[in-house]
Amino acid sequence: MMLNRISFYAPIGLRAFSTARVSRRELAFQVFGPENEAVQRDPIVFLHGLFGSKQNNRTISKALARDLKCRIYNLDLRNHGDSFHAPEHNYSAMAEDVQEFMDQQKLEKSVLIGHSMGAKVVMTVALQSPERVSALISVDNAPVNAALKSDFPKYVRGMQKVEEAKVSKQSDADKILKEYEESLPIRQFLLTNLVRSDDNILKFRVPLSVIGDALDNMADFPFSASEGKRYDGPTLFVRGTRSRYVSDKTMPAIKQFFPNAQIADVEAGHWLISENPEGFRQGMFQRS
């Protein structure tokens, strides 16, 4: 089993709790795990994708905490969820945020799991500081420069139209978004970012202008093969069978950066954790 290959154990008392950010530069997070476990595996740090938040991974994190009896930290990356907003939004900056979070929480080593944007963040952390990463799981993204699907700029435009309309009902926001995205589940996912202002107007908690300007950065990967960076620890790439983000063409790059990488295919599209959570869980455990 992929996660059974984690070798570092440390005594630590656990309790389940959640917290929002307490200062401008700290990441908001939630924690799941057994309360009275005297000895545990390395903790897991779990990162969401673009337009997501720590809430997206609550259900799967509870299941993994139960299965593995370890502490799981769900983070809100910068410019997402309850975390701070900043004009710089790229993988190097987000990786630095994650390492600072690990320092703040006194996490010597962690298993890192990330989906989509979060996947490139955890890959960046592993290549920058391999000694801090006991295992790596990348969910439907690869260490390559690859243009994002054209849907993402469209989502930003639709969300900006919602804010311009100054709607007070989510149903009205959905009607506007429907002009930009036909899929109801995707619209519902985007609408999880809506918050109500003091004047009863709905707006998005993600800074749309920052995210819009950063979309090109989200297509990049901060390292090139010529730099010789590599992470030799246990690595799993989980990919959706109906997604194009981790094609067979990316395998040479994956193996160059992550020579011990294994691949698990899950019957799903890009949003595979929500589309097929049991398939995702099984994919994590089926590799030896």
- Which one from 61, 116, 134, 138 is the annotated catalytic residue? 116
Strands (E), the chain: 9-11, 17-19, 29-32, 39-41, 44-47, 72-75, 110-115, 133-139, 194-196, 202-204, 235-240, 261-266
How big is the CA angle at 247 (ends 244 and 250), to the nearest 5 degrees?
Answer: 130
Map tokens 């993204």 to a residue. Answer: 141
Exposure string for 83-113, b = 16+ CB within 10 A, e = fewer: bbeeeebbbebbbbbbbebbeeeebebbbbb
Answer yes or no: 116 catalytic. Answer: yes
Options 80, 89, 115, 270, the catalytic residue: 270
Is residue 18 part of the annotated active site? The answer reads no
Radius of gyration of the chain, Cα coordinates, nearest whole angstrom? 18
Known catalytic residues?
A: 116, 270
